[in-house]
Structure 1
Amino acid sequence: MGAAEELVNQIVLQNDVIDDENYLACLPDEAKKILKSLASKWENVLDANALEVIPLKGAMTNEVFQIKWQTKEGEMSRKVLVRIYGEGTDIFFDRDNEIRTFAFISKNGQGPRLLGRFAQGRLEEFIRARTLSAPDIRDPSISALIASKMKEFHDLDMPGSKNVYLWDRLRNWLIEARRLSSPEEIETFRLDIMDKEISFLENELSVSPERIGFCHNDLQYGNIMLDEVTDSLTIIDYEYASYNPIAYDIANHFTEMAANYHTETPHVLDFTKYPHLEERRRFVQTYLSSSGEKASDNEVQQLVDEVEKYTLASHLLWGLWGIISEHVNKIDFDYKEYAEQRFQEYWSKKNNLLSHDRSSNDNVSLGNDLT
């Protein structure tokens, strides 16, 4: 979504000459200095000072720009990515932890290289691949690639604590949401009872044994890039990454299928697009079998059931994110209405998904019985 949350090849160009100067003014001086220093070391760049600044549409946490230089005739242009952190977004994550994660993942060949840091953001390698679109993640062949890549990501042996972070994050965000909200908002979003809901969910979902892995926690389509030459994926943007139940990460990916952040109303979710049972089974089967040994039907069904329940945690988390973002983030996005939709899904699905006598073979679709 959080987004990602940044869509690297879906570019909005407006009044090229005038706007390019305006966009250049958006970059902090420290960032410009690093950019010019980088470009001056590249022999094929014609003029290190001649930056073309292109805003990338779809970001909801940060502002993201593609930086481009002209190169000698016949040579591919030089590009980097500049990420400027959204105002107030340090509430959501520890930037130092994010940079350590970024560096580790890059070192292990899983993501772009870190090219530089400045006070308000960072410079990243520009990956020459296309960012996925909303329809892409429903495509069976691309979905299979995502399932395998997600398993590879979950298996990363990230240094540091390997404790589940989901529940602490929910409680921390609830504290911030209450602090920022008016009494009316607290009542409207039921924030006064949300701590009980979090504890209830933690008790219901934290069953043993539970598969824990290093999770991305924001695997929406804009955070996945496809190299169509090699047919390989790169997962980007690790602000929210931490150890968590792998069922939660898969659940979060499934709920993101309801979103399309490149419409006139990017905050509007369509839960009829939540994957149906066979899609979910196919994804989980691919995920579990990607290491080489085919998973049994029982293993697949068990994880499918766990994933369905963890969609509830996803709705609560991003609902709280929306409330906080409404108060701290200046990006043009209707965070409050987004939060309303997430909480509505939570309350409308809770009883059904946590009913202990519900058959595991029920085709529960989060989009077919909204109240």
Structure 2
Amino acid sequence: MSTPTLGPSLPLDLPTPPPLHLSSSYTSVISIGGGYADSRSRARSESQTRWQLDVEQDEPELREYQLKDLPYADVELDARKHRSPNFATVLLSLFRTLRIPGWSSHRLTPANVHLQKISGALTNAVFFVSYPQAPKPPTLVLRIYGPSSSVLISRPSELQTLHILSSQYSIGPKVYGTFANGRVEQYFPSRTLTAAEMREPQMSQWIGMRMRELHSVDLERVVQDDISLPGVWKNITSWLVPARDVLGLLAKVPLPLQHKWANISTDIDLHRFAQDVSTYQALISSRTPPVVFAHNDAQYGNLLRLTKPLRTPSSSPLAGATLPPQHQLIVVDFEYASPNPAAFDIANHFHEWCFDYSRPVETSWYLERANYPTLGKRRNFYRAYLGHSATEEQLDQLEREVREWSPASHAMWAVWGLVQARDDVIGLVNEGVKAEGGDFNYLRYARGRMEWFYRELQDLIQLEKPQLA
């Protein structure tokens, strides 16, 4: 499907409320340059899942996004079968087809292939693939796309971004090749951060420094899409329609009151939500900061800490030198990266302080507000992000921007959660209330993020009332 840009109103045939003009002038403390690029549509089709219910039309065949100069293999992997003996056999054949260095030897046997599933990845299934026996080829990262991710993500844009970031900025992993529903990436000797570790003062400073480096990337080099509007508005617009379809399916299933998804289809009013997002957008539109290249998903599962220090490349004048301490962190998963105000990316990261996706499925979706960083912890992050020479005025300005863009993060991920719940809802339609769903409660997550959007929007409106008087 193509990615629509946000026009005068959000979808669902709703009128846009009149703009709320603010009397105060606005200049952002973030002034990293950016530029415009040609827009590019996406043509990713849905997965090949077949439903046991009447639908208007069948889903089209799965098609692969291929990037020029990247090897491709016409293979589709099922992440649910990664423990089956045949999975390793298919993997070895895939790696040979992609001609991945070290993995083409016919001495390698499926029995010695070791897969480690990585927790914290909510959109895709991610594995570390290693071969502990001789000849010990390099460890790889195998990423199998989630079945609903094609609705949410432009894979061609993501691959282009990864290629440019790794080749021109030494940010993120190299992509070795793609296959029908995933890709194979460079592995860094590392581990993902934990939820608690991400909140430590020193680690928070490193994340702030790395985020500033990412925000300094030249948009014209990395982004192929139109950046006339922040990516968050485009995402909400394009995701609302499939989210409405998911709620429509859910409403057809009679659920007992004690069911974990009972009342969600009635609790979530997408028409009202779209109108309120438009009101919110109008509220902050007159003072939107410059957009930067934003990661938009800086949660602990997307932040790797190296277990061995990296050194500068041999081609560098400083070859062999140890990199700065913050470069112990490697940022991965750029599938949601897009132009956004820096404050949106920071606000979104602060929300991730409140989640622990490693908890049992019953509670992993829950936003623990008590873990949200205090003002002192936020300012610790801001100083690292802006530099220790930042003035108090700059710190205060960034805090205001983060507060203003915080509801946008809740809104975007609320709609995302509904779209991601598609397979769970299809399971309900096909199997009834006995369907248990996957290993993450996307529907409860979506409802929770929407509730926080409304709370923070009301807080923001209350703060704006003196200016609007």
Q: Classify the TM-score, shorter chain.
A: 0.7 to 0.9
Q: Distance in 2 between matches of 1:54 and 1:70?
A: 12
Indicate which of 298, 301, 319 corresponds to 2:396.
301
Deviation at 1:185, TM superposition (A): 4.8
Indicate which of 380, 386, 400 corresponds to 1:282.
380
Indicate which of 137, 140, 143 corresponds to 2:204.
143
User: Which residue is 1:94 aligned to?
Assistant: 154
Q: Distance in 2 between matches of 1:28 and 1:95?
A: 26
Contact 1:213/1:243 (<8 A) preserved: yes
User: Which residue is 1:316 aligned to?
Assistant: 411
User: Which residue is 1:271 aligned to?
Assistant: 369
Indicate which of 22, 45, 69 corresponds to 2:83.
22
SS, match of residue 336 in structure 1? helix
Q: Is structure 2 residue 445 aligned with structure 1 residue 338?
A: yes
In structure 2, what residue type is equivalent to 1:273?
N
SS, match of residue 181 in structure 1? helix
CA 1:207–1:66: 2 relative to 1, 3 Å: same
Indicate which of 101, 118, 121 corresponds to 2:182.
121
Deviation at 1:81, TM superposition (A): 1.0
Indicate which of 185, 206, 218 corresponds to 2:297.
218
User: Which residue is 1:10 aligned to?
Assistant: none
SS, match of residue 244 in structure 1? strand
Runs of 4 or more, structure 1, over 3 Å off, are 23-29, 36-41, 43-47, 183-187, 228-231, 328-331, 356-359
Deviation at 1:193, TM superposition (A): 1.1
Deviation at 1:313, TM superposition (A): 0.8
Q: Distance in 2 between matches of 1:71 and 1:271?
A: 46
Deviation at 1:326, TM superposition (A): 1.1
Higher relative contact order structure (alpha carbons within 8 Å, sequence separation ≥ 6)? 2
Larger deviation, residues 218-227 vs 183-192: 183-192
Deviation at 1:187, TM superposition (A): 3.7
Q: Distance in 1 between matches of 2:94 and 2:293?
A: 32
Q: Distance in 2 between matches of 1:326 and 1:96?
A: 23
SS, match of residue 54 in structure 1? strand
CA 1:179–1:229: 2 relative to 1, 3 Å: same
Indicate which of 234, 246, 250 corresponds to 1:168.
234
In structure 2, what residue type is equivalent to 1:283?
F
CA 1:44–1:62: 2 relative to 1, 3 Å: closer
In structure 2, what residue type is equivalent to 1:199?
S
Deviation at 1:199, TM superposition (A): 1.2
Q: Distance in 2 between matches of 1:334 and 1:97?
A: 28
CA 1:28–1:313: 2 relative to 1, 3 Å: farther
Q: Distance in 2 between matches of 1:343 and 1:311?
A: 12
In structure 1, what residue type is equivalent to 2:290?
R
User: Matched residues, percent identical?
Assistant: 29
- For residues 138-170 of structure 1, what are the alpha-carbon distances to aligned partners after superposition, in whole Å with 9 as ceiling and x for unaligned? 111111010010010011112434432211211
SS, match of residue 78 in structure 1? coil
SS, match of residue 353 in structure 2? helix
Q: Distance in 2 between matches of 1:44 and 1:83?
A: 19
In structure 2, what residue type is equivalent to 1:278?
G
User: Which residue is 1:197 aligned to?
Assistant: 276
User: Which residue is 1:16 aligned to?
Assistant: none
Contact 1:226/1:234 (<8 A) preserved: yes
Contact 2:96/2:104 (<8 A) preserved: no
Larger deviation, residues 150-159 vs 44-53: 44-53
Deviation at 1:101, TM superposition (A): 0.7
Contact 1:285/1:300 (<8 A) preserved: yes
Q: Distance in 2 between matches of 1:144 and 1:45?
A: 43
Q: Distance in 2 between matches of 1:201 and 1:278?
A: 27
In structure 2, what residue type is equivalent to 1:332?
D
In structure 1, what residue type is equivalent to 2:371?
K
Q: Distance in 2 between matches of 1:61 and 1:346?
A: 22
Deviation at 1:194, TM superposition (A): 1.6
Contact 2:95/2:103 (<8 A) preserved: no
The size of the alignment, in residue pairs, is 336
Gaps in structure 1 of 5+ consecutive residues: 1-18, 360-371
- For residues 347-366 of structure 1, what are the alpha-carbon distances to aligned partners after superposition, in whole Å with 9 as ceiling and x for unaligned? 2232213323589xxxxxxx
Deviation at 1:186, TM superposition (A): 5.1
CA 1:308–1:139: 2 relative to 1, 3 Å: same
Contact 1:180/1:324 (<8 A) preserved: yes
TM normalised by structure 2 equals 0.66
Q: Distance in 2 between matches of 1:27 and 1:115?
A: 18
Indicate which of 320, 327, 333 corresponds to 2:422.
327
SS, match of residue 271 in structure 2? coil
Q: Distance in 1 between matches of 2:132 and 2:81?
A: 15
Larger deviation, residues 182-191 vs 155-164: 182-191
Larger deviation, residues 100-109 vs 343-352: 343-352
Q: Distance in 2 between matches of 1:114 and 1:131?
A: 19
Gaps in structure 2 of 5+ consecutive residues: 1-79, 252-262, 310-324, 425-436
User: Which residue is 1:368 aligned to?
Assistant: none
